[in-house]
């Protein structure tokens, strides 16, 4: 029974980690007032670049760095188009996703069918040997530990730091922030690049740990789930972490249902994470007052500096 529980929880952690990275990055982006719908494309870019780098160099560290940089480059393209050229954030984000899907399919053709050894587990001395608790909490790879640290760091940054206050003020009213002398475009550029780096790491986890191999369009809609998680969390990092693990648990439910011999079509079970996403968003949207109190007031709006 203990082994079954441990394996189930470990599978949920593996499924939730890429969602945590992609969603926490998008949360920071949206808190600055920018809506980037290109998370899916940035995740795929991070996945293919990290896998290719790790495969050809044999270095997992370089693979993680490459995935992060690939996500940042895609985010930089988005930022240039929307913040500098003032294009529509919604249309540009959708185009970024389509561009990422096509580009990564082209780049990844020589990598299809090649396996990767995955990231090594970093066992905490003594604690990892504890029964049940040890494997669950203290025997993970560096990206799992990093996801928890990142959520805590973002929560502190947004709620406790002066820079976080500046970012939130720009997201709430970029005109007022500009009148106070804050550099709206610069802050939004940095926030967008951070979101791209996080999405790239989320894609890195997919190709280097979750699979681990390159498969065309392997994000399979996780970028859209990450976007939904930001709304589900009402732009709060702690709620986002819980939501990511909830969706991670639902996504691996199909595997356990098949293992238990439950006679449910596999296609129906594969739909569960996306159906749940829609239902959650519908339920949350009923409380519009709460969303309006927490959502950045300037989200998705272009900023046109007067001076």
Average pLDDT, the chain: 88
Residue-level pLDDT at 287: 67
Query: In this structure, is residue 141 part of a structural domain?
Result: yes
Q: What is the pLDDT of residue 207?
A: 93
Express each pLDDT in 166-202 by its tens digit: 999 999 999 999 998 899 999 999 999 999 999 999 9
* Cα–Cα distance measured from residue 181 to residue 178, given in angstroms and rounded to the nearest whole number: 5
Per the domain annotation, does 302 fall within a domain? Answer: no
**Among all chains, which residue has been given the structure tokens 């393209």?**
77
Residue 147: half-sphere exposure toward Cβ, Cα within 13 Å: 29
pLDDT of residue 26: 97
Within-domain flag for 304: no
The pLDDT value given to residue 235: 92
pLDDT at residue 203, as a whole number: 95
Q: Of the given ranges (142-146, 217-221, 302-306), which has the lowest mean pLDDT?
A: 302-306
Calpha distance 152→154 (Å, rounded): 6
pLDDT in tens, 227-269: 999 988 889 999 999 989 988 888 777 666 666 666 666 666 6
pLDDT above 70 for 223: yes
More confident residue, 94 or 6: 94
pLDDT one-digit tens code per residue, 71-83: 999 999 999 999 9
Mean pLDDT in residue range 79-105: 95
Q: Could you tell me if residue 235 is inside a domain?
A: yes
Domain membership of residue 206 (yes or no) is yes
User: Is 126 part of a structural domain of the chain?
Assistant: no
In a domain, 280, yes or no: yes
Question: The CATH number of the domain where 152 resides is what?
Answer: 1.10.3470
Instruction: Using the predicted structure, report yes or no on whether residue 307 has a pLDDT greater than 60.
Output: no
CA 278 to chain CA mean position, Å: 18
Tally of domains in the chain: 1
Domain residues for the domain of 173 are 2-120+134-294
Q: Is residue 129 part of a domain?
A: no
Contact 294/234 with Cβ under 8 angstroms?
Answer: yes
pLDDT for the residue numbered 1: 45
The per-residue pLDDT for 260 is: 61
Give the pLDDT score at 269. Answer: 67
Give the pLDDT score at 303.
86
């Amino acid at each position: 029974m203990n082994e079954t529980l441990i394996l189930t929880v470990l599978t949920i952690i593996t499924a939730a980690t890429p969602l945590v990275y992609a969603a926490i990055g998008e949360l920071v982006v949206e808190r600055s007032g920018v809506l980037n719908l290109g998370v899916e494309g940035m995740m795929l870019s991070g996945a293919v670049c990290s896998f290719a780098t790790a495969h050809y160099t044999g270095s997992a560290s370089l693979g993680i760095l490459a995935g992060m940089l690939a996500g940042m480059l895609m985010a930089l393209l988005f930022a240039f188009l929307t913040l500098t050229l003032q294009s529509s954030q919604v249309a540009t984000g959708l185009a970024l996703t389509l561009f990422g899907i096509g580009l990564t399919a082209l780049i990844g053709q020589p990598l299809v069918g090649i396996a990767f050894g995955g990231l090594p587990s970093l066992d905490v001395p003594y604690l990892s040997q504890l029964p049940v608790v040890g494997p669950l909490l203290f025997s993970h790879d560096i990206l799992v530990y990093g996801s928890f640290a990142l959520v805590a760091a973002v929560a502190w940054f947004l709620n406790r730091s002066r820079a976080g206050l500046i970012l939130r003020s720009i997201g709430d009213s970029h005109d007022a922030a500009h009148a106070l002398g804050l550099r709206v475009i610069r802050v939004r550029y940095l926030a967008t690049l951070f979101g791209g780096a996080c999405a790239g790491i989320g894609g890195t986890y997919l190709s280097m740990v979750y699979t681990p191999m390159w498969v065309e369009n392997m994000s399979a809609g996780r970028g859209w789930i990450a976007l939904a998680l930001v709304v589900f969390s009402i732009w709060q990092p702690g709620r986002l972490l819980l939501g990511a693990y909830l969706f991670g648990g639902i996504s691996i439910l199909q595997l356990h249902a098949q293992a238990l011999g439950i006679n449910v079509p596999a296609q129906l079970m594969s739909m569960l994470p996306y159906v749940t996403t829609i239902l959650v968003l519908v339920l949350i949207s009923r409380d519009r007052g709460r969303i309006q109190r927490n959502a950045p007031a300037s989200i998705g709006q272009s900023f046109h500096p007067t001076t």
